[in-house]
A and B are shown apart, each in its own frame.
Chain A
Amino acid sequence: MKFIKFILAGVMFGFILTKGELISWYRWQEMLHLDGFHIYGIIITAVAVGATGLALIKKFHIQDISGRPIVIPDKKVSFYRYAIGGFIFGVGWAIAGCPAVHYAMIGLGYMMFAGILFSALLGTFAYGLLQKWLPH
């Protein structure tokens, strides 16, 4: 089963999200009231670790576990999609969180997040529908 390692990694991440209080609705509110360092601290530390790791991977041309070179695609350069998309994402996130939260909160028994997840799928579908007419 080649997918087992991803399930195990997911279980680990679900544990991290819960123990790290990243899924706590109150924590996001605190973050966005610029009133607590908790989530900012997590992002800054994660990026410090991630950036160091990726730099080492590039410097030493480290391969992935199946022996292929690791290539991390650059994000397409533009402004509008990131500014407008980021803004809308922020408005929604402040109320209902992001995908990682939706999945983890379902596991924690907050079944309202099943509805929220379904709404997020509708939002994703709406983007696909309107993509042609949106500035990117």
Chain B
Amino acid sequence: MDFNILTDHWHWSFTGIMVGAMMLLLTLFGKFFGLSSTYRVLCAIGGAGKKVAFFRFDWKDQLWNLFFVGGIILGAFLTRHFIPESQETTLSEHTQAFMFRLGMIEKVDADQLLPFAPDKLFNTTSPLFPSAALILCFGGFLSGFGSRYAGGCTSGHFVSGLSNLQIPSLITLIFFLIGGILSTSFFLPFLLNNL
């Protein structure tokens, strides 16, 4: 088999093995793999504990997690600079057609490679700026609110929690999918067409 781990596209099964292994590695380090707790820590460091009891906790135990997410930023940065071809993704035609109708991509072509996110939404020079930024930040707000409410995000619930056979994580996943499906099919197009 001729597989270059740096430049080739990864098969989902390989990525899955790596993600599972990452969770186990942190477990062996004596830590819990969950990234949304860094948001609580950052709020606490920012002084949120003065006003709200939820942010008065011993966040020094969680300091390692800030180094971990700092590493994520660095790792993504290094990947971008040293393996520039790793910044594109293929996309199924059906979703491409949907994105085309939303004006996010120029054409529908099963073989085209797309960047990780549409410039139309994510670039400050886009004609949709700043309303697109408003939509995205609203999404970020809900993501931060919902993950804390549910007690975990993708990593904490859908990787760590499910691996530990937690029913709460399964409930979270089911309602997460319902919310996400409604959001991408109706809510996001509604926002984009009305802002």
- By a beta-carbon cutoff of 8 Å, the part of chain A in contact with chain B is 3, 5-39, 41-51, 53-54, 57, 62, 64-66, 68, 70, 72-79, 81-100, 102-113, 115-129, 131, 134
Contacts and interface: CB of A to CB of B under 8 A. Distances in A.
A86 B46 CA distance: 26
B149 A91 contact: no
A122 B141 contact: yes
Contact of A15 (B24, B78, B121, B122): B78
A95 B138 contact: yes
Interface in B149-180: 149-155, 157-169, 171-180
Interface residues of B, number: 125
A136 to B, nearest CB: 8
A29 B184 contact: yes
B149 A134 contact: yes
Given A91-B187, A92-B139, A100 B172 contact: no
B75 A10 contact: yes
B143 A92 contact: yes
A94 B184 contact: yes
A8 B79 contact: no
Contact of B48 (A11, A28, A125): A125
B13 interface: yes
